A and B are shown apart, each in its own frame.
Chain A
């Protein structure tokens, strides 16, 4: 099966600076990589995703990059704001696997320092 590693587990950045969260996956057949944001006590919500036929995707201050050769993908948040503080999860999907094949990383707690 798929295995997803996520780093760092905690990331603290000054407001206005950029934040980068990295994930690696083990199965080169994985073809879909979503990122979820979870605020304290709330449900995870999809913030951006990327498919294996694309190297980069951007949505305002958020971007995701994918390196299929190295089997890693990253979330980039620029001009961080207090409301960006949350836990972020990456995931990878293995096609043909049961349950849509989503395997999640263990999460990164992003702290935005004022």
Chain B
């Protein structure tokens, strides 16, 4: 089923709390991505990493942080600075230039 897992599927948090979303892949892919999906907004890039120990901001990085200590893992932390954190979060990975992106099953985060 694509070899990318995200956990948990649903996550609930109180406003003001940081929360970390997990993304793991066993595809030996170099590049990994985090997207946010809101109704009618398509997929917007939060952060990406093309190699271990390196990552770059995407289009909407404010209020988020990531790490890439292992090739297989790219966790995303939604901080209390993110003004509208409630959304569907998708992780993706890619083998290399010219290859397709594979998506994980997503985590739906609700912050109240």
Binding site for B on A (CB under 8 A): 6, 9, 32, 34, 36, 41-46, 49, 89, 98-100, 102, 104-107
B62-107 with Cβ < 8 A to chain A? 90, 94, 97-98, 100-106
Do A106 and B40 touch across chains, with their CB atoms under 8 A apart?
yes
> B48 is contacted by which of A44, A98, A105 (Cβ under 8 Å)?
A98
Do B94 and A100 touch across chains, with their CB atoms under 8 A apart?
yes
Q: How large is the interface on B (under 10, 10 to 19, 20 to 34, 35 or more residues)?
A: 20 to 34
Do B42 and A89 touch across chains, with their CB atoms under 8 A apart?
yes
| Chain B interface mostly | strand
Evaluate whether A46 and B42 lie within 8 angstroms (CB atoms) in the complex, with A99-B48, A99-B56, A100-B31 already known: no
> B40 is contacted by which of A9, A36, A43, A44 (Cβ under 8 Å)?
A9
Instruction: Other than A36-B103, A99-B50, give 4 A-B pairs with Cβ distance below 8 A.
Output: A34-B100, A42-B106, A43-B90, A99-B48
Closest to A109 in B: B40
Do A43 and B2 touch across chains, with their CB atoms under 8 A apart?
yes
Do B104 and A99 touch across chains, with their CB atoms under 8 A apart?
no
Separation in Å of the B101 CB from the closest CB of chain A? 7
List chain A residues, Cβ under 8 A from B2: 43
Query: By CB atoms of chain B within 10 A, which of A42, A89, A99, A105 has the most?
Result: A99
List chain A residues, Cβ under 8 A from B43: 44, 89, 104
List chain A residues, Cβ under 8 A from B33: 99
Do B103 and A106 touch across chains, with their CB atoms under 8 A apart?
no
